Amino acid sequence: MEKLRKAVNEIAYCKDLTKLSPLHRTLVPVLSFASALYSVALSLRCSLYQSGLIHRNRLAVPLISVGNLTWGGNGKTPMVEFLAFWLADSGISPLILSRGYAGGDETKMLQRHLLGRPVRIGVGANRAATASSFFEKYGYVDPSTVSERLWVGAKGPSHFGSEEIGVAILDDGMQHWSLQRDIEIVMVNGVTLWGNCHLLPLGPLREPLIALKRADVVVIHHADLLSEKKLKDIELMVRDVKESLPIFFTTMAPSHFSDVRNFNSNKPLEALCNTIVLCVSAIGSANAFVQGIKKLGAVYVDQLEFSDHHMFQLTDYDRDPDILKHLNPFEVLVLCSQLKIISRKGITEDGFKKLLKEMLTDIPGRECN
C-alpha cells in the first residue's frame, strides 16, 4: 500500500505524464477515470449546497477556516496553532475543530504545544455537533465582545472568563461546507504548488483552482525556499483567479531539537553541525523538511520518507516517541518548529493580525442555526 501511495504521489506531482516510468503510466488510465468520477461527485455536492438543499450550520461564535486545495504539506495545522496562540494571548479562548484524521496525530501535537493555554480542541467528523457540545460545557461570548477584546489587546480589561469560547478555528476546513465560516484562509505549498493541476486521485487537487474565489486570505507556505521569481509567478496565478486576494508568506522556523528519550530536553540547532543525518518523516512536504535540515549545517543528509499520516508499525521509524526509542544506539532528535510569517514588501505578521482583526470586526449580523 505504501508503494502504491508513493506511485500515486509521483504521478500527481509530475507535470508531464509522458515522462513517467512505464509502470507508473499503467496507473494513469485508472486514476483518470477515478478523477472524472470525483469531479462529477464534487460538482453535485457543490450544487446541493448552493441550492440550499443541504443545510449549512452557523456557529454561535466567529469561525476561521484554515484549509487548502491539495493534500498535505500546506501548513494548515501550523497555521491553526499560530492562530490559537494569537487568540489565547489576546485573552480569547479559541476552540479548534478537527476531524481527527489518521488517529489524530496532529491533534495530539496541538495538545502538547498549546498546553497551559485556554485552548479547547474538539475532535469529530460532525464538527457542528462537536462545537455545540463544547459551547454547552464551557459557554461562549458575544462576537462583538471578541472584536473589542482583539483591539484592546491582552493587557486590557478582560470581558469574559477563560472558560468561555470566543472564536472557533476549523482545521482542514475548506471542503467542510456544512459550516458557514467568517474567514476563509487557504494555505498553498509553494514548493509543490498544485502539482499536475488534475483533481484527485490523478492529481493532488481537492477542488479546481477556481475555488480560490471563496478565499479571504491566501498564504504561500515554505516561501523561504522559493526564488523571488517563483513567488511572483505564484502571486500572479492566485490573482488571476481573484485579484483582490490578500497574500501572505510563511515558513516553518526551527527553534530547537528535543531528544525522544526526554522531550523536555532542548538541544540547540547547532547540534547538527558536522553530523550525518537521516531525516525520517511522515508529513505532506518531506522535501521542505529535508531542505530545512540541510541549512542547519549537516555534513550529509539522507531521508526515509513515508506518506502523510502513515500508520506506522513497530518496525517503522516514526515520529512517535515510543517507536523512535528503538533506534538505539543512534541519537534520535525531533525538530521543533513554529510557523512564522515572512516580512516581504511591507507585508508583515502585524499586518496579517490586523487584517484578521478587521475581518472579525466587520462580521455582519449573525444568526445561529
Q: CA-CA distance, 322 to 305, in Å (whole number)?
A: 19
Residues in the chain: 369
Query: Are the CB atoms for 182 and 68 separated by under 8 Å?
Result: no
CATH of domain 63-251+342-362: 3.40.50.300
Kindly report the backbone phi and psi dihedral angles of residue 154, in degrees, each rounded to the nearest multiple of 5, phi listed first.
Answer: -65, -25
Kindly report the backbone phi and psi dihedral angles of residue 256, in degrees, each rounded to the nearest multiple of 5, phi listed first.
Answer: -170, 175
229-280 pLDDT, tens digit per residue, is 999 999 999 999 999 999 999 999 999 998 877 777 889 999 999 998 988 8
Environment class of residue 119 by beta-carbon count within 10 Å: exposed (0-12), middle (13-18) or buried (19+)? buried
- Residue 342 CB partners (closer than 8 Å, separation 6+): 223, 224, 249, 250, 251
How much of the chain is helix, strand and coil, in % rounded to 5?
40, 20, 40
Determine the pLDDT at residue 158.
45
Is 114's pLDDT higher than 90?
A: yes
The single-letter DSSP state of residue 57 is B
Q: Is the peptide bond before 157 cis (omega within 30 degrees of 0)?
A: no
Give 31's pLDDT tier (boundaries 50, 70, 90).
Answer: very high
Is 326's pLDDT higher than 70?
A: no
41-91 pLDDT, tens digit per residue, is 999 999 999 999 999 999 999 999 999 999 878 999 999 999 999 999 998
Q: Read off the C-alpha cell for 302.
A: 539522507
- Residue keyed to cell 549537516: 298
R_g (Cα) of the chain, nearest Å: 21
Q: CA-CA distance, 342 to 240, in Å (whole number)?
A: 23
Mean pLDDT of 327-332: 73
Q: CA-CA distance, 301 to 260, in Å (whole number)?
A: 20
Question: Which amino acid does the sequence have at 294?
Answer: K
133-190 pLDDT, tens digit per residue, is 999 999 999 887 888 788 876 554 444 556 899 999 999 999 999 999 999 999 999 9
200-228 pLDDT, tens digit per residue, is 999 999 999 999 999 999 999 999 999 99
Between 247-251, 321-325, 358-362, the lowest mean confidence (pLDDT) is in 321-325
Determine the pLDDT at residue 156.
45
Q: CA-CA distance, 124 to 130, in Å (whole number)?
A: 6
Give 301's pLDDT tier (boundaries 50, 70, 90).
Answer: very high
Q: Read off the C-alpha cell for 124.
A: 469529530
Query: Are the CB atoms for 170 and 179 separated by under 8 Å?
Result: yes
Q: CA-CA distance, 52 to 365, in Å (whole number)?
A: 20
State the pTM of this model: 0.88
Q: How far is CA 216 from the centre of its chain?
A: 16
